[in-house]
Each structure stands twice: as C-alpha cells, then as structure tokens.
A and B are shown apart, each in its own frame.
Chain A
Amino acid sequence: MERTQDFDVPAEELWEAVTDPEQMGWLGDEITLDVRPGGTGRITDDGETREVRVDTVDAGHHLSFHWWPEGDEDMASRVDLIVVPRPPGSRLVVRETLPDPVATDGPAGRQTRAAATIEPTAWDRRIVVLGLATMKPLAGVAAGSRC
C-alpha cells in the first residue's frame, strides 16, 4: 500500500511532524514512541492500539517501523515514511507492507514478512481488480477505491 501527499511546508518541518512524538498526533489519538532505531512505543488510532518498534531513522528523510495489534506480533506490518523535499514544499510517501497471510507463524514466516518489499502501486490495482473479477462475495472493497 502506498500513499503520497504534498505539503506547503519545507521538508524539515514535515520531518518534525513525522518524528517528534509531540507532533505525531495525526498518526493516532494517543502516541508514545521512542523514535530511535530499536525504540518502542504504542499508537492508538481509531480505537485500535498497536505496539510499535522503530527500525531505521535516516534523519530528515526516512523513518521506518514495524507495528502490530497489541499482543499479536505475528501480524506485524512494516511502515515506511519518506520525506522528499519539493521546494518550496515537501512530499510524504507512506508505504505499508502487507503481512504474508500464507507464511508460517514461525521464524521463517517472520523472516519472509521482514524481507518482503513489494512494489506496491501496480500490485494494489492488480490484486483489487483480480479480486473483484474473480471472487463473487468480496465484501468491503468498493469498485472505485483507489489503492
């Protein structure tokens, strides 16, 4: 899954909004996070609380973390937040990598999920189109949804 959004603020300000816990309220109603590699925390958004573990912090450019529903680390997905300067403004690219539903629950499964980097945009569309074309009862996916 990928989303891109442009902002009228400089990249440095966007980076602060992405990595300063006091400014990260847009991610969820409640957030505590140690924004350093290996740092942990919690984010509650729309009634769901996730545990978070930070992977990489490339100052000014890229924050990545894994997060998962409380107590359910096997369902972890990876989030990449990438700040791109576009003077006079900036751009945020968000990627969330799908957990592998077919992978085993063991270490091999977790490794598979950790290693999987998907080129998301083309596959989002293909998966949804195939789903709509193939599966008769496919509840909850709007035909016009932009993925």
Chain B
Amino acid sequence: MDEVFAALADPTRRAVLQRLLDDGPATATALSPSFAMSRQAVVKHLGVLADAGLVTAERHGREVRYAGRAEPLVDAAAWLARTGAAWDRRLARLSRQLGPSAG
C-alpha cells in the first residue's frame, strides 16, 4: 500500500491514471502532449504507477501500451470504509463502557 500512496502523491500521476481509466489504454507517446511533458517524463511516471499495480504495460509491436487498473484504489477505499465503520462501532462500545454511568 506504500507504493499506491507514493504513486498517488504526485498530481501529474493522478491525472495520468485518471486519463487511462477514463479513456482507455494509451502509449506514452499518445499521452505526453496532454501533459505538456516529454515522453520520457511520462514513462517515468507510468513506471511508478506500474510499481504500485495501478498501471499495466503491454507490448504491441514496437510500442508499449499502458492500461489503468482501478482495483488497488477500489480495494483501498473499500477497506478504509469497512475498517473505519468497525472501529466506529468498537469506540461507541468503549464510550458506553467508560461513560459517566460506568463504575
């Protein structure tokens, strides 16, 4: 999960991931004009995203096509919601246990 958070720390990477998830797979060449950066810079960002499992790379002939993966984000968001709700319940019980009426 460290890699997912690190990957999402950069606003450009978030935008690249959002673009791939919204518009489908793309090559680094196709992406770079939209982000006003060199192809190499885009490839670096894609590498960080790939390390976090947020992007996969597939070779198509001489090009590499990158695809976004939402699963790590969905998994993280779902886990946070479930875990947060569970701790809310536990803390409510602890409050009743330690409340003003408790011995």
Given contacts A5-B94, A13-B98, contact A134 B70 (CB under 8 A): yes
A101 touches B53 (CB 8 A): yes
**From residue 9 to 61 of chain A, which have CB atoms closer than 8 A to chain B?**
9, 13-14, 17, 23, 25-28, 45-46
Alpha-carbon distance between A138 and B8 when the two chains are bound, in angstroms: 18
Q: Which residues of chain B (66-103) have a CB below 8 Å from chain A?
A: 70-84, 86-91, 93-95, 97-100
CB closest residue in chain B, given A100? B1
* Chain A: interface size category: 35 or more
Instruction: Kindly identify, within residues 123 to 147 of chain A, every residue whose CB is under 8 Å from any CB belonging to chain B.
Output: 123-124, 126-128, 130-135, 138, 140-142, 145-147
Tell me which residues across on chain A come within 8 A of B44, comparing CB atoms: none
Q: Which secondary structure dominates where chain B touches chain A?
A: helix
List chain A residues, Cβ under 8 A from B95.
Answer: 5, 7
- Complex Cα gap A116–B1 (Å): 7
Within 8 A of A (CB), among B1-17: 1-5, 8, 14, 17
Known: A101-B53, A134-B22. 20 other contacts (CB 8 A): A3-B91, A5-B94, A8-B98, A17-B97, A27-B90, A45-B86, A45-B90, A92-B91, A96-B83, A100-B1, A101-B76, A102-B3, A118-B1, A118-B2, A128-B77, A130-B8, A130-B14, A133-B18, A135-B70, A140-B81
20 A–B contacts, CB within 8 A, in A order: A3-B84, A5-B95, A7-B98, A17-B97, A25-B97, A45-B90, A94-B87, A101-B53, A102-B1, A113-B1, A123-B8, A127-B4, A127-B5, A127-B73, A127-B80, A135-B70, A145-B84, A146-B84, A147-B80, A147-B84
B contact residues vs A (CB 8 Å cutoff): 1-5, 8, 14, 17-18, 21-22, 52-53, 70-84, 86-91, 93-95, 97-100
Residue ranges of A at the interface with B (Cβ–Cβ < 8 Å): 1, 3, 5, 7-9, 13-14, 17, 23, 25-28, 45-46, 77, 92, 94, 96-102, 112-113, 115-116, 118, 123-124, 126-128, 130-135, 138, 140-142, 145-147
